[in-house]
Amino acid sequence: MPAQLKVVETRCEKCACTKCQGPLATAPAPAQVSEQGIPLPGLLAYVLMAKFGYQLPLYHIEQVFTH
């Protein structure tokens, strides 16, 4: 089965009390592998295994995802 990419969209609800006009409350976001990035653990595992396990150059891995 060829590699597949899918977009996982995470939404955090924001809630405020309309009666008391209190502060805006936001639900906490789920933990990420990288604070500034968005890759999920499965994608990172695939890239690391392809790079170091199968010793593919990065441009070959890029070609897998563009086809």
Domain ranges of the chain: 34-67
Distance CA 32, CA 56 (A): 26
Query: What pLDDT, on the 0 to 100 scale, is given for residue 5?
Result: 72
∠ Cα 53 57 60 (to 5°): 105
- Per-residue pLDDT, averaged over 11-22, amounts to 79
Report field, pTM of the whole predicted structure over 0.85: no
Query: Does 52 score more than 90 pLDDT?
Result: yes
Query: Does 49 score more than 80 pLDDT?
Result: yes
**Amino acid identity of 9?**
E
Average pLDDT, the chain: 81
Beta-bridge mates of residue 26: 14
> Alpha-carbon torsion 39, 41, 42, 48, what sign?
positive
The tens digit of pLDDT for each residue in 25-42 reads 888 877 776 667 677 788
